[in-house]
Amino acid sequence: MTEHAEIKEDRKRSRKLHMPRNDNRLNQTSKHLLVSWRANCDVQILVHNCDPKNPDSSEISRVTDYVASYSCKGNCSLMEERQHNKELTMAAEDFTGNKADVVRACKQIMNKCASKRLISKQEAMVLLADLPLTICTEGFEAVSLTHSQQVALEGKLRDDKKFTMQHATRDRSFENMSLHECFHHVKNPTKNERHTMPNFVGTSGTPQFPVTTDYARHTIIVYRPWRQHPKDLEWIKEFNQFINSEECPVSAKMGYERKMHR
C-alpha cells in the first residue's frame, strides 16, 4: 500500500509503477480510466529506461512476453469441467462388474459435457453478436524424437509408425529436407483445413545460452537433414558448426539468438 505513486521493483526485479491505494484488495487503478470506462480497471504500466529511437531488446521483450502470456493464459473453467467429470466417475456404481459399467459411466460423462459445454469469453461474445465462427488457430501434433522401438512378446520389433521413421524413409527427391521441413510438407493442409504445428517431444528444445547438450541434440535432430537417426555425436560441437552455417534455417537461429541477446 502507498499514498503516492512511485516506481518500485517487484519480486522479479522488474520496475513497475505502483499507484496509490489504501487496501491490499484494490487493483492498481487510474481514476481517469475509471471515470471514462465507468468500470473496474486493472492497470499495470511496464517501465523501461531505453531510448525509444534505439530500443533495448531485453527491455522490449518484457512487454511482449507479458502481452503474449496474458493473451494466451488458460481458462479457469476447465478446472470446473475436470471436477465434474471426476465427481461423475467417483459416483459411478458397479452393477454388472464388467465393461458395461465403464461404458455407462463414459456415456454419463459425455452427456454431461454435451449439455453443459464450457466456452471461452471470446466465443461467447461472438455468439451473442451473431458473428460467424471461423478456425483461426493452429492445431498441434506431438512428434517423438526418441529412437526406441517396441518389442513384441515373440521378440520381434513391431512396425515403427513414428514420424521420425517416415522421415528416414522419405523419397530421395526430398534428400535435403529436415525433419521440421518434412513435417510441414507431409502435413501441408488444404485450403479449408486447420494448419498443424509439430510439438517435438523426447528432448528439451527450449533455447539455452550457453548451449546445453539436450538443446543441441534437439536442434540437430529437428533442423539438420539426416537418414540415420543421429546418435553418439559431440552435440555441442555439432550445434556450433550447424548454427553458424549457411544451411541452418532462420527458424533454428531465431530462438538461439534471442536467448543469447537476452
Across the chain, which has 262 residues, the per-10-residue mean pLDDT values are: 79 76 73 74 68 78 70 57 73 74 79 66 74 70 75 60 80 87 77 75 86 91 89 89 89 87 82
Question: What cell numbers appear for 208 in the block?
Answer: 539455452
Domain range for 43 is 6-71
Answer yes or no: do 112 and 172 share one domain.
no
End-to-end CA distance of the chain, in Å? 32
What is the pLDDT at residue 241? 92
Answer yes or no: do 93 and 172 share one domain.
no
Answer yes or no: do 191 and 253 share one domain.
yes
What is the pLDDT at residue 58? 75
Task: Check: CB of residue 182 under 8 Å from CB of residue 170.
Answer: yes
pTM exceeds 0.75 for this model: no
Domain end: 56, 71, 86, which one? 71
Answer yes or no: do 97 and 164 share one domain.
no
Q: How many domains does the chain have?
A: 3
Task: Check: CB of residue 112 under 8 Å from CB of residue 84.
Answer: yes
Q: How does DSSP classify residue 2?
A: B
What is the pLDDT at residue 154? 64
Answer yes or no: do 114 and 195 share one domain.
no
Domain end: 71, 102, 117, which one? 71
Domain for residue 134, yes or no?
Answer: no
Instruction: Spell 219-258 as b/e; 16+ CB within 10 A means b.
Output: bbbbbbbeeeeeeeeebeebbeebbeeeebeeebbeebee
Task: Check: CB of residue 139 under 8 Å from CB of residue 197.
Answer: yes
* 127 Cβ neighbours under 8 A, 6+ residues apart: 119, 133
What is the pLDDT at residue 223? 92
- pLDDT tens-place string over residues 152-184: 566 665 566 778 888 888 888 888 888 888 888
Answer yes or no: do 65 and 93 share one domain.
no
Answer yes or no: do 93 and 144 share one domain.
no
Answer yes or no: do 205 and 171 share one domain.
yes
- The neighbour count for residue 104, using CB atoms within 10 Å, is 14
Answer yes or no: do 154 and 215 share one domain.
yes
Domain for residue 1, yes or no?
Answer: no
Task: Check: CB of residue 204 under 8 Å from CB of residue 218.
Answer: yes
Domain for residue 206, yes or no?
Answer: yes
Nearest CA among 54, 57, 47, 61 for reference residue 8: 47
Answer yes or no: do 30 and 89 share one domain.
no
Q: How does DSSP classify residue 157?
A: B
Query: How far apart (Å, rounded) are the C-alpha atoms in residues 141 and 74?
Result: 19
Domain for residue 120, yes or no?
Answer: yes
Query: How far apart (Å, rounded) are the C-alpha atoms in residues 238 and 243?
Result: 9
Answer yes or no: do 36 and 55 share one domain.
yes
Answer yes or no: do 99 and 14 share one domain.
no
Domain for residue 133, yes or no?
Answer: no
